[in-house]
Structure 1
Amino acid sequence: MTCALAGCAGDGKGLDENGRPEGESTGTLQPTFQSIQANVFTPVCTACHAGAAAPLGLRLDEGASYALLVNAPSVEVPELRRVQPGNPNASYLIQKLEGTAARGGRMPLNQPALPPETIAVIRQWITDGAPNSTSAGGGGGGSKTRFELVTLTAVSPARDETVPAPVRDIVVVSDVQLDASLLQSNLIQLRASGGDGNFDSGNEVSVPVDATVRSDLPTVLSITPRAPLAADSYELRISGTEPVALADMQARPIDGDGDGVPGGDFVLRFTVEMTR
């Protein structure tokens, strides 16, 4: 999915010389994801790129942006990643910011261009491998004790959210590094409700999906239906229950049901509606 910075429309009023809203300052921009989020994505981009209606599914609000940028395919030019770690020239985000992309306009759209110095900092972060400086999981869970839990969070779509069709992928993040080899087991299932919005009526339809890992620390999962999802209600279920359970690198199963105890299935329900 992708565009790369905002599909934002605006007249540029109220922005300072750095392209940020006047009166908003979060310190000197550094080549870290946390600093870029605070100084660029949040104040400049989230006017458009937030929530279910974010253009081309690209949410740049805190908590979602990393998973939807790094190693995520661009919707406009699918052969390019929004952010290709280590390669800013091949990153669609940079092409959109610099106005060199093959499709669409420079971002932020209809607003002042970001200063070259700001883009240079974003370039440096990508050159450095686009690490997630805000991740709580750190080095794959090695710093977590055996009493702490492995949790999953739905990024896009969010839980119980209604999103416009088509939906090309579902993004779920972990707080630590997961054992990706377990994805070969049949522990991820997606079902359509069959049109009635219920999942116990007997008319549910299984939807084939492929699961890939976009990044490891912590793990970002992209769950891709083999065809874009049509209008209906959907249930994604990731097993946290033995004998086939998703677990971290220390074999600790996820706390899928959020009851504070390892185990239980992670369930995400959302609705896809036709775009009018």
Structure 2
Amino acid sequence: MKLLFITMIGLLTACNAGNGENLDGQGQPLEPVIAEDITDDDGNEEKSTLLWIQDNVFSPICVECHGGANPAAGQNLSDLATSAKNLINVTSANANFKRVLPGSAQNSYLYLKITGASQAGARMPLGKPALSTDAINAIKQWITLGALVPPNSNISAQVNNSHMTTRQLNEHKSATLTLSFNQPMNFSSLASEQILINASSPTATWSISDENITLSVINPQTLKITISQLPLAVTQLKFSLNNNSISSIISIGGQLLDGNYNNVDGGEFNYEHNF
């Protein structure tokens, strides 16, 4: 059988549809981010990278206030790793926005701040001329492309963005989870049997067999996990990756995926979707 059916003794407790992660300012799911090449035709690094932004914006301009032992708003931009830790997927002073929401500049407080958007209060840098058009565009593009960090930069490898799409096909349905990572990953040793997926309804659970799981590497930063032949009765899916008893996902720089976002290499990544 492609799906192992297990009858439950009791009813499952209903779970919330989500906690607001990976939603835009209107509460709608963000589309998956497909990272693009960040070099120009001559192989030079373009401006839309965190490294360029750190060297040309954060360090020379922002650290005057956002640096040192007591950075303004607790947002330290002193160096590359510190900036990434203090910006990406971190809740801002306006709880409706992340400081940087990968894939969506318009829903990133940093971008709203430097463009003078009304939702973000006073424009930054405070009391100084606005950032140059090049700097603003670089930050916008960096966020839009997924807020990637340089490999081998001592920044934890993490999932930056996750997005689920579903389809109903006659007597079954399928689901595809797109995961965008903050840096290039090495998926060469990852196999479908190393990903734990459980499906459930209010009265039953199904364990998904690996023959119904397809892994698609879109690019080194983007992985798609597709499940086929799901019963129509399924109302919830739970994914578990980077369980070190089964397998580990590693960046091209050799870092274990920080699946639980504690800025320490390793840790299980979990994702839940309710239909």
TM range (shorter): 0.3 to 0.5
Please give the TM-score of this superposition, normalised by the length of structure 1. 0.42
Please give the TM-score of this superposition, normalised by the length of structure 2. 0.42
Task: Judging by fraction of residues, say which structure has more strand.
Answer: 2
